[in-house]
Amino acid sequence: MNKVLTIVKKNMKQYTMMLALLVIVIMFQILTGGKLLFPMNVYNVINQNAYIVILAIGMLLCIIGSGSIDLSVGSVVGLVGACAGTFIMKWNWDPYLSILLCMGIGILVGFWQGFWIAYVKIPAFIVTLSGMLVFRGATLVILQGGKAIPVFPDAFKQFFVGTMPEFIGVWEIAGMKIYLTCLLLGILIAAAYCVIQVLSNQSKKRKGYEYASTGALITRLVIISTIVVWFFTILARYKGIPAVLIVLGVIAAAYTFITQKTVLGRHIYAMGGNAKAARLSGVNTERLMFFSYVNMGFLCAIAGMVFAARLDSATPMAGDGFELDAIGACFIGGASAYGGIGAVSGSVIGALIMGILNNGMNILGIDSNLQKLVKGLVLLAAVAFDVLSQGHVALPWFLRFGKNKPEATLHASAGGAQGRVTLRKGKN
């Protein structure tokens, strides 16, 4: 029992966010009269909010590595969309070549910003604020003062807003179609997840690491597997698997592996926990910071093409405010504003919360200004929870009853473990 409580306490933030997601889904399902979980609406939610997940994963590496953010992501999304529209629709370039070029543009943007942040040591806030203005201006120039470029070809859109082909067949039960490929994929993903988790738990046990008890492991596997199969069953009742879901799955799996199983990932966490200690241990923190922003540019390019394909046009205001959704998704998903803490799975959960909030409030017809107020309060609550749970907050000395003299509290963190040194004024 004590081991279970220890594991729950260690992962309290992630469990809390999963519970919050469940509560939000149930709440909007009731308020919308069941419309939230209609198969068509679930399909649309994935397409409409894919960019949040992609940007949140990129933003996560910036936050983990240094606690910094990228304010330019929305403008880069707009820039990439404008370039895609120009390459394909105006210059009649091959769509596949244009996709590669757009990825290259995103990487170049990351090179530019990463250089100033990592090597010139200009604060990320200033560099990316500058980038937000520069890249938005470049978007307007490319679109010749803000003229939208409409209609992308199917060869471009099939990667981002299309539906995966049906390989097995379609069942029709009581007038309802079931796409079998989608259903089978959900079952395979659930089975693969169970096998991977069991093998990982056994490996931890053999090596003497902390591992989950049999009861806790089975409970987690049953809950997660049920949710996965249920989710794919909903999709199987509409059109099947959205193409962008495959893109999201590949990105999430790749970055989960990078952050959890590679030296690069461990070094990023170490840099975020204590940059000076990481540097003294031989970690090239400048290179890691540079990589984080190059990676952010690359994922911005993918998000930009996803968004342009969904709109079926390149518009001057594409990406406006996307940075707020991405940052909010990371913090809501458990990333620490101080760096060194966070997970890809948490960012995905945070992005889902943001997406469902957007969709649910739209279904209810809530005013857009009020929607911003709600999302802002949710973000503040998430960050406040992080600050309080990590012990970074200290009351002003005049609120500390029974203490006549102020204290200076110094915080230090390394890899998520928090230490506190209290300096008191002594008598001479």
Residue at 223 is within a domain: no
pLDDT of residue 408: 43
Instruction: Spell out the SS3 assignment of 299-334.
Output: HHHHHHHHHHHHHCEECCCCCCCHHHHHHHHHHHCC
Domain count, the chain: 1
pLDDT at 74 exceeding the cut of 80: yes
Residue at 279 is within a domain: yes
Q: How confident is the model at residue 416 (pLDDT cuts 50, 70, 90)?
A: very low
The token pair at 128 is 């990316």
Q: Per the confidence metrics, is the pTM higher than 0.75?
A: yes
Tens-place pLDDT, residues 105-131 = 999 999 999 999 999 999 999 999 999
Residue 411 DSSP symbol: E
pLDDT of residue 158: 85
Tens-place pLDDT, residues 331-350 = 888 888 888 888 999 999 99
Which helix (H) or strand (E) element contains residue 249?
Answer: helix 243-261
Residues in contact with 127: Cβ distance below 8 Å, sequence separation at least 6, in sequence order: 113, 116, 117
Residue at 185 is within a domain: no
pLDDT of residue 391: 59
Query: CB–CB of 318/146 below 8 Å?
Result: no
Q: How confident is the model at residue 428 (pLDDT cuts 50, 70, 90)?
A: very low
β-pair partners for 258: none
Tens-place pLDDT, residues 12-63 = 566 777 888 888 899 999 999 999 999 999 999 999 999 999 999 999 999 9
φ, ψ of residue 9 to 5 degrees: the values are -65, -40
The token pair at 399 is 């609120």
Q: Write out the residue range of the structural domain in which residue 322 sits.
A: 2-162+242-390
Residues in contact with 428: Cβ distance below 8 Å, sequence separation at least 6, in sequence order: none
Of all residues in the chain, the percent with pLDDT exceeding 90 is: 56
Residue at 367 is within a domain: yes
Residue at 219 is within a domain: no
The token pair at 79 is 């820039």
Listed ranges 98-107, 143-152, 395-404; the one with the highest mean pLDDT: 98-107
Which helix (H) or strand (E) element contains residue 52?
Answer: helix 39-66
Residue at 48 is within a domain: yes
CA distance 231 to 185: 11
Residue at 205 is within a domain: no
- State the burial class of residue 389 (Cβ atoms within 10 Å of its Cβ: 0-12, 13-18, 19+): middle
Tell me the CATH number at 309.
1.10.3470
Residue at 325 is within a domain: yes
Half-sphere exposure of 340 (CA within 13 A, CB side): 19
